[in-house]
Each structure stands twice: as structure tokens, then as C-alpha cells.
């Protein structure tokens, strides 16, 4: 069925007249719980005064005003639709996804909003720190005290600076301190719009792409976005909006028809925060007939009966130490249960590590993880191994000459260094550092005098270890840095003692993209979890990045979500539960 084709289209010049005789709705409205000026109660009263049949309260990333609005509407001839407007990011651009009819009281949805809040707090504390460094002393606690019960945005920072005499006006605050390219701005890592769609669906809601014309995308790029969102479960497009021209509206209706999406419409009303923009009528010519909402309700009912059709296959890339494994290198019964449910739902599991691939395979074996369609990624992305085919399907390596140069430099600094063949650790001396490494890694070790004799092809990586003197390790790294940059070699600490050296063409992030390509899975449906610096590229490459509660601050800043618990308390499993 093509749901949107029967939705009424009325030329703009006829709308004022027809409004007198038809019920109207507004499916995109904000209160002072985000960045609007009216309270939820005031919104309800104003909507009744204007004769609306229904409106959706869609505050930014919060549902705090819904309960008040529903209570205010009790006994009145108006429907208040519980909604939200998620801020997301697609190819470096802000994209907004509106959700209607969400179950905002569900445990799942409450957990997701808590995660949003945690991410915002980390970002806001860092912005406060930077402002203080620039002579504007402010703490996060002072900011929230001045703007209680609000989702803190940059506009609140600007008002704080104005209120306390640090700037002469709001524009100065943005121009000097908190604008996109200013020194105190910290971009908030946002979820992908695909993930926003999924969250709304799992909360029983109806996901809609908000005001697509405002993104100023080319037709082909917008079409691509809508195509991916449709695959994720998008159900509607905001084709009727306060700033659209007649041509804009026709184009959005055509795009909705192409992808069998419902039409939605909204004023994006913010009260006095957007002067001249009124509820339901926008700038005077907006008209959203109730029939649009009726079609959404029909599709929403259909969705309840066909939920299985709205779940794309996902692929999980998980680090081992500090992420999947606890400090005893084990997993709990609960984590095993969640991994089993993940696999049963048709999703794929990939074990990723800086370890050699043999060692990653050892972990798989001793944990008895035997799910169909599993893959192993070793050497920080240098090798991808297909567990079903029992063969390597992708490999990136250093040259033997590069490995020799790294070895010679390590000897000059007195740094332990070893590398790898397909079957063994290749070492040159039985050192304290090697024995420390072998406490966990059980790959056989082959001691050699000549690296060329031991390797038939270049190794995927080298590993330098220094247990006692980090300054010596750092001096080694800095000495290699100019050569490594010229040769295209990445050096990264996987922990305070280990310095990984591998081709820049490798990396966990590259492996994420490559395996998604080989399996024909859209990277936007990939999930990556980690705790350390060498996991950042993987987290940034995936559609959703999970940072462990025990992870580094850099990892948390890169991720889209942070686990509520650490690796010793099933942190990853609890995060995965809501993704299955």
C-alpha cells in the first residue's frame, strides 16, 4: 500500500479559507523544557485557543514536558502526542529525527535518554573548563543552577555570559567563544540518524525525518540519506513545514512517494524564541490538515503488527581486554546470554584486538564462543579472519625492511620489541617484557637471530614494551615519528606499557569499513565497543560507538554512548541488550 498518495494537497493561496472549515494539527512543537518559551501547559492552552485538533510536543532530546502537557490537556478537546526531536549527525551534518507516539515511560527509552544526558554532561563540563581557561569562570553546576530543568545548549552559555557581563550581546558569545570554530566550543558526539530512527521504533514510536529542505543537500545526497533511513525503518518525511516554498513541498512529497513514506507537517513553534513564527500557521501560510495525522495513525497501527520487518541486520565489533572481557579475561553468564541473543536475532559478532589473530582465536576458543558468522580482527585491524571459512579474507602488513628498521631503533633505545608470523610471536631475546606479555598471550614464541630468515612476508605489526620507564618509550616513539609519518606507519599506545606499530592503511577503523564492505552491510548499522586509545578509530568508523565506563576520556569523547557499568560488571552486555 502506498500510504501517502491520498494525503490532501491544497494550494497555499486556498489555505487560509479552508482552515476555517477543517481541523488542523501541528506535529512539531517545542516548549521551555528544551529551547521554546512557553511551558507545556501554556502550549496546550494556546493550541486549544487556536482550535487545533492535535499537536505533538517534540522537545530536543528530552521528554520532560510531556507529562505536564498531557495533564493540562485532560478534559479538553485536543490530543497531545508524546514526541521528541533527536539531534543526530550524518557525514558531519546535523540531522533531526522527530518521533511521534513514543512510549516515553518505557525502561528502554529512559535508559537511552539517560545515556544522552551523560554524553551532554561530559561535553558541557569540558566547555566550562575551556571557558574558565579563557577568563570566563563557570562550572557546570553554576550553569545548571542558573537554567534549572533545561537541556543545556550553547544558547544557555551565551545567556550566562551576557547575564554576568562577560559579553555585550549573545552574538559576541558565539563569535568569540562558543561558535563552531571558536576555542571554547566542544562538538557533542551525536548518534547517527539511523540510530535515532531505531530508538524511536523500539520505543513504539513513529520516526520522521524533520525539515529535510533545511539541510541544503543536493538531491542525490538527500535521496541517499532517505534511502538509508528507510532501510533503518524511517516512516515519514516532514513535507509540510513553516519555511517551505510550494516547490519545496512538492519535492518533499515526491521524495516521500518514492520511498513509500508518510507525509508529516509542523511549524517548529518555539514561542518568542522564534519571533513571527506561530503555532500551526507558521509565518501565515502553513496548513496541516488532520488527514495527515490520520494517515500516520493508520501506518503506526500497521507497524505494531509488522515489527519484524523493521529490524536491519547489525554487526558488532568488540574489543577484548577491558571491554568484552573482565579483568580475569572471562565473560559472565549474563554476557554470554546476551551474545547468544544477539546471534539468534541474526546479527554478526566480530572479536577485535591489537593481539595477533591466533591469540584472538584462543580467546574465542576458551570462551567457547561458537556463533555462526563470526569474524576475528587481529593486529589492530591488520588481518580479518573468517571463522566459518577458516581463512584470512583481508590482510595489511609492514614490509620486512620497515620491521627491521623499527627493530634497530628499538635496540638503540634498549626497548623490547617483537613481531609476528602467521603462527608465532617472533622475538629476539627472552626478556622480562616478553614474559609479562606471555602471561595473557599464549601464542607460541619463536626466538630468532635474523628477522629475514623467520618471515616469508612482512608482519602485520610490531609491538614495543617498556614496563618501568615510560619516558624512555616516549623518546623511542618520538625518534621514530618523522620516519613513521613518511613511511605511513601508525604508532599508538594500547596501554601505558605497550606501543603498537602498524601500517596506517590498517587500523581497527579501516577493518570495520572493510568487513562491512565485504559483507555488504551498511556501516551505519555497525556497532563498535572499546575502552582504549587504539579503539577510537573503530568507534568513530562504526554507525554507533560504545565507550566503556572504565574507558579513557578520549574514548568517551569519541563515542556516541557510554556504558552504565564497567567491564567487570557486564557493561557491554547491558548496552547491547537495547540493540538486539
**Is there a domain that residue 294 lies in?**
yes
Residue pair 533/552 in contact (Cβ under 8 Å)? The answer is yes
pLDDT averaged per 10 residues in sequence order, the chain, 580 residues: 44 48 87 92 97 96 95 97 94 92 92 78 89 94 88 87 94 92 83 91 95 96 96 96 96 97 97 93 95 96 75 91 96 97 94 94 95 94 96 96 96 96 93 95 93 91 96 97 96 92 93 95 93 92 93 88 92 92
Residues ≥6 apart with Cβ < 8 Å to 20: none
Q: Which of 310, 327, 352 is the last residue of a domain?
A: 310
Query: In whole angstroms, what is the distance from residue 499 CA to residue 491 CA?
Result: 7
Q: Residues 421, 386: one domain?
A: no
What is the predicted pLDDT for the residue at 5?
A: 41
Quick one: how far is CA 548 from the chain centroid?
Answer: 14
**Is there a domain that residue 555 lies in?**
yes
**Is there a domain that residue 333 lies in?**
yes
Q: Residues 493, 510: one domain?
A: no
Query: In whole angstroms, what is the distance from residue 349 CA to residue 351 CA?
Result: 7
Query: In whole angstroms, what is the distance from residue 513 CA to residue 158 CA?
Result: 39
Which domain does 443 fall in, by range?
Answer: 400-503
Q: Residues 260, 371: one domain?
A: no
Q: Residues 283, 326: one domain?
A: no
Sign of CA dihedral 296, 302, 307, 312: negative
**Is there a domain that residue 452 lies in?**
yes
- DSSP annotation of 178: I
What CATH number is attached to the domain comprising 495?
Answer: 3.30.1240.10
**Is there a domain that residue 241 lies in?**
yes
Q: Which of 310, 333, 359 is the last residue of a domain?
A: 310
What CATH number is attached to the domain comprising 97?
Answer: 3.20.20.140
Q: Residues 368, 510: one domain?
A: yes
Q: Residues 336, 361: one domain?
A: yes
Do the bridges between strand 79-90 and strand 52-57 make them parallel or antiparallel, or are there none, so unpaired?
parallel
What is the predicted pLDDT for the residue at 116?
A: 75
Domain count of the fold of the chain: 3
Query: In whole angstroms, what is the distance from residue 449 CA to residue 452 CA?
Result: 9
Q: Residues 546, 459: one domain?
A: no
Q: Residues 421, 373: one domain?
A: no
Q: Residues 226, 327: one domain?
A: no
What is the predicted pLDDT for the residue at 22?
A: 60
Cα angle: 319, vertex 324, 327; to 5 degrees: 110
Convert 487-512 to b/e letters by CB count within 10 Å (16 or more is b).
bebbbbbbeebbbbbbbeebbbbbbb
Query: In whole angstroms, what is the distance from residue 100 CA to residue 208 CA?
Result: 8
Residue pair 78/45 in contact (Cβ under 8 Å)? The answer is no
Q: Residues 107, 230: one domain?
A: yes
Residue pair 51/82 in contact (Cβ under 8 Å)? The answer is no
Coil, strand or helix at 247: helix
Cα angle: 448, vertex 449, 451; to 5 degrees: 75
Q: Residues 327, 242: one domain?
A: no
Residue pair 537/382 in contact (Cβ under 8 Å)? The answer is no
Q: Which of 270, 291, 310 is the last residue of a domain?
A: 310
Q: Residues 491, 559: one domain?
A: no
CA dist list (Å): 386 to 156, 331, 383, 444:
50, 22, 10, 22
**Is there a domain that residue 338 lies in?**
yes
What is the predicted pLDDT for the residue at 309?
A: 58
Residues ≥6 apart with Cβ < 8 Å to 60: 30, 34, 35, 85, 87, 151, 153
Query: In whole angstroms, what is the distance from residue 555 CA to residue 490 CA?
Result: 18
Amino acid at each position: 500500500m502506498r500510504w501517502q498518495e491520498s494525503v490532501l494537497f491544497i494550494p497555499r493561496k486556498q489555505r487560509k479559507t479552508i482552515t476555517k472549515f477543517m481541523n488542523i494539527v501541528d506535529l512539531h512543537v517545542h516548549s521551555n523544557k528544551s529551547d521554546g518559551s512557553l511551558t507545556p501547559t501554556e502550549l496546550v492552552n494556546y493550541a486549544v485557543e487556536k482550535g487545533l485538533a492535535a499537536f505533538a510536543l517534540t522537545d530536543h532530546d528530552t521528554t520532560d514536558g510531556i507529562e505536564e502537557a498531557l495533564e493540562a490537556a485532560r478534559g479538553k478537546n485536543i490530543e497531545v502526542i508524546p514526541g521528541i526531536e533527536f539531534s543526530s549527525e550524518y557525514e558531519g551534518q546535523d540531522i533531526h529525527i522527530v518521533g511521534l507516539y513514543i512510549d516515553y515511560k518505557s525502561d528502554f527509552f529512559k535508559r537511552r535518554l539517560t545515556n544522552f544526558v551523560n554524553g551532554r554532561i561530559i561535553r558541557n563540563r569540558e566547555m566550562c573548563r575551556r571557558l574558565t581557561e579563557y577568563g570566563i569562570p563557570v562550572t557546570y553546576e553554576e550553569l545548571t543552577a542558573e537554567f534549572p530543568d533545561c537541556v543545556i545548549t550553547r544558547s544557555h552559555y551565551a545567556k550566562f555570559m551576557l547575564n554576568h557581563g562577560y559579553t555585550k550581546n549573545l552574538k559576541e558569545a558565539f563569535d568569540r567563544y562558543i561558535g563552531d570554530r571558536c576555542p571554547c566550543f566542544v562538538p557533542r558526539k551525536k548518534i547517527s540518524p539511523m540510530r535515532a530512527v531505531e530508538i524511536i521504533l523500539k520505543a513504539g514510536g513513529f520516526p520522521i525525518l524533520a525539515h529535510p529542505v533545511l539541510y541544503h543537500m543536493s538531491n542525490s545526497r538527500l535521496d541517499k540519506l532517505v534511502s538509508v533511513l528507510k532501510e533503518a525503518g524511517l516512516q515519514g518525511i516532514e513535507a509540510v513545514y513553516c519555511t517551505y516554498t510550494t516547490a519545496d513541498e512538492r519535492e518533499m512529497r515526491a521524495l516521500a512517494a518514492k520511498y513509500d513514506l508518510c507525509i508529516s507537517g509542523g511549524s517548529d513553534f518555539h514561542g518568542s524564541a522564534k519571533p513571527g513564527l506561530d503555532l500551526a500557521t507558521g509565518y501565515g501560510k502553513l496548513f496541516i490538515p488532520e488527514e495527515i495525522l490520520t494517515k500516520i495513525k493508520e501506518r503506526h497501527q500497521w507497524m505494531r503488527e509488522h515489527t519484524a520487518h523493521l529490524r536491519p541486520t547489525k554487526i558488532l565489533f568488540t574489543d577484548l581486554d577491558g571491554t568484552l572481557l573482565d579483568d580475569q579475561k572471562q565473560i559472565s553468564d549474563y554476557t554470554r546470554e546476551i551474545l547468544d541473543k544477539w546471534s539468534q536475532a541474526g546479527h554478526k559478532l566480530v572479536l577485535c584486538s591489537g593481539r595477533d589473530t591466533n591469540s584472538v582465536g584462543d580467546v574465542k576458543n576458551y570462551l567457547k564462543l561458537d556463533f555462526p558468522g563470526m569474524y576475528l580482527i587481529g593486529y589492530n585491524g591488520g588481518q580479518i579472519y573468517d571463522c566459518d571459512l577458516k581463512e584470512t579474507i583481508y590482510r595489511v602488513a609492514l614490509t620486512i625492511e620497515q620491521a627491521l628498521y623499527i627493530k634497530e631503533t628499538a635496540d638503540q633505545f634498549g626497548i623490547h620489541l617483537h613481531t609476528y608470523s602467521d603462527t608465532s610471536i617472533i622475538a629476539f631475546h627472552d626478556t622480562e617484557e616478553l614474559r609479562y606479555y606471555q602471561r595473557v598471550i599464549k601464542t607460541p614464541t619463536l626466538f630468532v637471530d635474523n628477522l629475514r630468515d623467520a618471515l616469508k612476508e612482512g608482519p602485520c605489526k610490531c609491538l614495543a614494551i617498556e614496563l618501568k620507564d615510560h619516558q624512555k618509550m616516549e623518546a623511542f616513539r618520538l625518534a621514530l615519528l618523522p620516519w613513521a609519518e613518511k613511511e605511513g606507519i601508525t604508532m599508538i599506545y594500547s596501554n601505558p606499557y605497550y606501543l603498537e606499530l602498524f601500517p596506517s592503511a590498517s587500523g581497527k577503523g579501516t577493518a570495520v569499513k572493510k568487513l562491512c564492505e565485504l559483507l555488504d552491510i551498511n556501516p551505519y548499522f555497525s556497532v563498535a565497543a572499546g575502552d582504549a586509545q587504539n579503539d577510537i578509530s573503530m568507534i568513530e568508523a562504526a554507525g554507533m560507538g560504545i565507550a566503556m565506563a572504565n574507558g579513557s576520556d578520549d574514548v568517551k569523547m569519541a563515542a556516541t554512548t557510554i556504558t552504565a557499568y564497567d567491564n567487570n560488571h557486564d557493561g557491554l552486555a547491558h548496552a547491547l541488550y537495547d540493540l538486539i
